[in-house]
Structure 1
Amino acid sequence: MRSAEDWSRLGGVVITVLAVAAVAVLLVPRLLGVAAGPEAEIITALKSTERDGLSLTLPGVEEPLRSQKHYFARITVNVEPGGERAVAWATLDFDGLLGRTAISSLGVERVPFVRREGEWVPERLAAPRLAAVVRVLESRRRALEAGDREALKALLAPGLESATGGGEAELERVLGLQRRRYRAETWLLRLERDDAVATEAWRLEGQLPSRPVDERGQRRFSLIRHEEEFLFSSSLM
């Protein structure tokens, strides 16, 4: 039979093995990432969102943009000198919701990455260009509903501020409604490197002096990248 001293030694060995295993669980993935290089780490970080889901916070919008399903493909990574920053280019196929608005998007995504505490993470969002396009569309919807002309003008690309980019008569008709409610039911998006196209299915409700209004329709918009934002490059209506 084993003595108490033998059992004590065996227990010490077991504790040591468990401690080493715990350290390995924490360190091995990081060491493997270092061995594989930043490109592999960044690609893995983007692809892992397909399993975990995306929730993108948009400035000035209460609800986040949430994915129902999405897929990153054709990922390329450019690491900046110094090895602390990088940019991932990819195509993103996205279906999700912003509140009650259904969004389907396909196109180019540019994701800046930074190295924090030894790991590569998105600098801000995992899909910043998609977020920028959805934000400007939602800002337009809110400004129309609120009748905020200044907010609408701020959404136009430089050179179009003095007008609404076309569609002035339709804009006046919409803003002339009382108890106005403007809803985007769907946004279908196509994103390129420096511009985007959006098709909106909308519903407009309100009141004229003579009758109530309840209309549905579709509109197509062109947007252009301006620094880190997208702005309307043609008619708001």
Structure 2
Amino acid sequence: MKTTEEWSRFGGALIVLLALGGALAVFAPRFLGAAAGPEAEIITALKETEVEGLSLPVPGSDVPLKSRRHRFARITVAVAPDGERAEAFATLDFDGTLGRTEVGTDGVERVPFVRRDGDWVPERTAAPRLLAVVTALESRRRALQAADADALARLAAPGTPGVGGPEWEELRQMRARGYRAEAWYVRLERDDAIVTEHWRLQGALPSRPVDTRGERQLSLTLRGDEFLFSPGLM
């Protein structure tokens, strides 16, 4: 039989072991990641998003860009000399939605990382180039919905002509106008993006009702942190 004092010592030792176990569970991944270097931590952070999913707020949209599934591959990491910043370069295969719009992409993603509280985290988001393209596409959709030539002009790269011609004039004259993107399929290159858009236009012209669907290809060019349309907007 153990004495009360022995049971007390045993209980104290058990509490210490449990505390150590909890501390290891919390800090061991960080210690192991640090031992493996920032490259391993950053790759792990990107791969973890495949399990957790992505939900990216899109400026001007009431709904986020959400992934059904996505996969980062061919990941390489470049760490800045100060050891506090890094960039991950990867291919991204993404399947998701922006509200009722299907969004699919494959191509090159570039993700800035920073160290915060000892961990490597994306500076803004795990898919900044994809988000920038979808932001431009949604801004264009809203401008077409409103037939706002000035808003469209702000989305054009330098040297890109503004909207005009029969298609624009018909859109501008339409009442109860509704321009919906049913799908955007994006090919991300190093400094460019090629998008196949499946669209639907509904409304009424003075002479007839309108309900048409179509497909068009759009080109965007990276300028700073945003993508702009070139050579045309429609």
TM-score (norm. length: structure 2): 0.98
The answer to whether the 8 Å contact 2:141/2:181 transfers is yes
Work out the number of aligned pairs and report it: 234
The one-letter code of the counterpart of 1:236 is L
| Residue in 2 that maps onto 1:157 | 157
Q: Name structure 2 gaps, 5 residues minimum.
A: none
Aligned equivalent of 2:25: 25
CA distance in 2, matches of 1:120, 1:35: 14
Determine the C-alpha separation between the residues in 2 that align with 1:27 and 1:208. 65
Residues 120-179 of structure 1 show CA distances to partners (whole Å, capped at 9, x for unaligned) of 00000100000011111111110111121110000100122x523xx6331221121111
**Deviations for 1:83-142, whole angstroms, at most 9, x for unmatched residues?**
000000000000000000001101000000000000000000100000011111111110
Tell me how far apart the structure 2 counterparts of residues 187 and 196 of structure 1 sit (CA, whole Å).
Answer: 11
Q: Deviations over 1:174-215 (max 9, x none)?
A: 121111000000111100010010010100000111221100
CA distance in 2, matches of 1:56, 1:25: 30
| 2:207 aligned partner | 210
Q: Which runs of 4+ in 1 moved over 4 A?
A: none
Match of 2:64 in 1: 64
- Specify the alignment match of 1:197 in structure 2: 194
Q: What secondary structure, in the 3-state scheme, does the structure 2 residue paired with 1:113 have?
A: strand
TM-score (norm 1): 0.96
1:27-83 superposed Cα distances (whole Å, 9 cap, x missing partner): 111110110000000000000111110111122222110000111000000000110
Separation in structure 2 between the aligned mates of residue 140 and residue 27 of structure 1, nearest angstrom: 46
The 10-residue stretch of structure 1 (110-119 or 50-59) with the greater mean CA deviation from structure 2 = 50-59
Letter in 1 for 2:223: H
The aligned residue for residue 99 of structure 1 is 99
For 1:163, give the aligned amino acid: G
Q: Distance in 1 between matches of 2:23 and 2:208?
A: 72
The residue type paired with residue 216 of structure 1 is R
Q: Which residue of 2 aligns with 1:89?
A: 89
For the 8 Å contact 2:152–2:162, the answer to whether it is kept is: no
- Identity of matched residues, %: 62
3-state DSSP class of the match of 2:152? Answer: helix
Q: Unpaired runs of 5+ in structure 1?
A: none
Hey, what does 2:73 align to over in structure 1?
Answer: 73
Q: How far did residue 6 of structure 1 move?
A: 1.0
Residues of 1 paired with 2:194 and 2:24: CA distance?
A: 48
Q: Could you say what secondary structure the match of 1:206 adopts?
A: strand
Of the structure 1 ranges 171-180 and 86-95, higher mean CA displacement relative to structure 2 is found in 171-180
Letter in 1 for 2:92: L
Quick check: 2:71–2:94 contact (8 Å CA) kept in 1?
yes
Q: Tell me the residue number matched to 1:36.
A: 36
Work out the CA distance in 1 between the residues paired with 2:56 and 2:205. 38
Structure 2: distance between partners of 1:192 and 1:56 = 20
Aligned to 1:4: 4
